Amino acid sequence: MEITKRKLLQSMLVAPMLAAPALILTGADKADAQSATPAMAPSGPGYSRFRVGDIEVIALLDGYMQLPTQFIIGYDEAVARQSTQASYRRFTEGAIPISVNAYVIKTGSEVILVDAGAPKFMAPDVGRLAANMKSAGIDPSEITNVMMTHLAVDHVNALINQDGSKVFENAGIIASETEWGFLHNPAVREATPEQFRGMIDFGIMAVAAYSDQRQLFNGETDLASGISSLPLPGHTPGHSGYVVRSQDESLLIWGDLVHFNTLQFANPDWGIVFDVDAAQAAETRKRTFDRVSADRMAVAGMHVDFPGVGYVERSGDGYRYITAPNMPI
């Protein structure tokens, strides 16, 4: 039987664990999810332009997910209240809304999409990447490469159409060799509980259409003019950031180094149950915070409040996130 995105989505909708996030929605959220207006639509456009030297970067909003606090390693509600308050965000009990972002980098010769958002079965208010890309004036045919921070299910959705064909018809895929091997390792799938295997299958299916134009890298590698990879292992073995440099400015797009910006800057040891190696993820997080704060380097994160671009400062025993000014470019 031919596996299409639609068929796999249908099968996953009935998978008990994958349906679980929907169970944590309150009655009001469910009503909103079913209405025409998304519950957590932003008040502004779903894209934001900025510059790193001569390179233009466009943040794209895919949407929002509610993550249950049971998914957070190290979670302590009193501490969470305190650090949420310190970051001027409303505290919510039981689940925390997080942003799903992607970024387009225009180097002059290339138009690169970094990550591709989450499928609807994960949350009612994701899957808007394509619409927001269109609003930003970017045509899918312009994309020359999709560069993946990792190949988890909430980062690959917009790569393919319902029939499994490429959305970005002129693009190749760039990913870490370790990450590609991890996704395609039958032993990893075998060791994954049955109810989660659909997530791996979804990732495999999403990248398959790009497989014959793949460029796999190891370590720190120059990948395009002004762009190089930076290994950030832990969340997944091949999880990688991308450093964008132009003139004297730099930006690190760090993928899933942070899932909860209200919590993990103040408490960098806190992780998420989806971390393949949570201890390594915490080490990588602290090392990266040290580096970007010392270098005054801009950062961008796939789950940092949209547009997810800012700076990290040391603060007490931990760190603090400063949203970047949103200025004309």
Q: Which of 62, 110, 125, 154 binds Zn ion (CB under 5 A)?
A: 154
Residue 87 near residue 96, CB atoms below 8 Å: no
Cα gap 82→50, rounded to integer Å:
31
Distances (CA, A) of 248 to 52, 90, 107, 205, 222: 9, 36, 15, 40, 17
User: Given the complex with Zn ion, which of 103 and 226 has the nearer CB atom?
Assistant: 103
- Pick 55 or 302: Cβ nearer Zn ion: 302
Of residues 110 and 125, the one with the C-beta less far from Zn ion: 125
The whole-angstrom separation of Cα 255 and Cα 242 is 8
Q: Considering only 2-10, 150-158, 167-175, 199-207, which stretch makes contact with Zn ion by CB under 5 A? A: 150-158
CB atoms within 10 A of CB 114: 26
Size of the site for Zn ion (CB under 5 A): 2
Instruction: Judge whether 267 and 240 are in contact, CB under 8 Å.
Output: no
Contact segment (CB under 5 A) with Zn ion among 105-113, 147-155, 197-205, 312-320 equals 147-155
Stretch near Zn ion under the rule CB under 5 A, chosen from 11-19, 45-53, 154-162, 197-205: 154-162
Binding pattern for the stretch 10-29 against Zn ion, x by CB under 5 A and - elsewhere: --------------------
Query: Measured from the CB atom, is 55 or 153 closer to Zn ion?
Result: 153
Q: Give the nearest distance from C-beta 272 to Zn ion in angstroms.
A: 9
- Pairing label, strands 111-114, 145-147: parallel
Contacts of 161 (CB under 8 A, 6+ apart): 5, 167
Structure token pair of residue 12: 């996953």
Q: Which two tokens stand for residue 322?
A: 């400063």
Min dist. Cβ of residue 62 to Zn ion (A): 10
DSSP of 244-307? EEETTEEEEE-TTS-S-TTTTTT-TT-EETT-SSHHHHHHHHHHHHHHHHHHT-EEE-TTSSTT
Contact region with Zn ion (CB under 5 A), list: 46-54, 101-109, 153-161, 191-199: 153-161
Minimum gap (Å) between residue 98 Cβ and Zn ion: 9
Give the residue with the Cβ less far from Zn ion, 5 or 155: 155
Tell me the window of 1-9, 56-64, 148-156, 241-249 that interacts with Zn ion (CB under 5 A): 148-156
Q: Which is nearer to Zn ion, 55 or 156 (CB)?
A: 156
Within 240-299, the residues that bind Zn ion by CB under 5 A are 256
| Whole-number Å distance between alpha carbons of 237 and 276 | 7
Binding region for Zn ion (CB under 5 A) out of 7-15, 17-25, 86-94, 146-154: 146-154
Q: Please state the closest distance from residue 50 (CB atom) to Zn ion, in A.
A: 21
3-state secondary structure 156-177: CHHHECCCCCECCCCCEEEEEH
Q: How far is the CB of 27 from Zn ion (least distance, A)?
A: 27
Shortest separation between residue 99's beta carbon and Zn ion, angstroms: 10
227/251 Cα distance (integer angstroms): 10
In the complex, least distance from residue 256 CB atom to Zn ion, rounded to whole angstroms: 4
For residues 90 and 72, what is the distance between their CA atoms, to the nearest angstrom? 18
Query: For Zn ion, which is the closer residue by CB, 62 or 256?
Result: 256
Residues that bind Zn ion in the complex, under the rule CB under 5 A:
154, 256
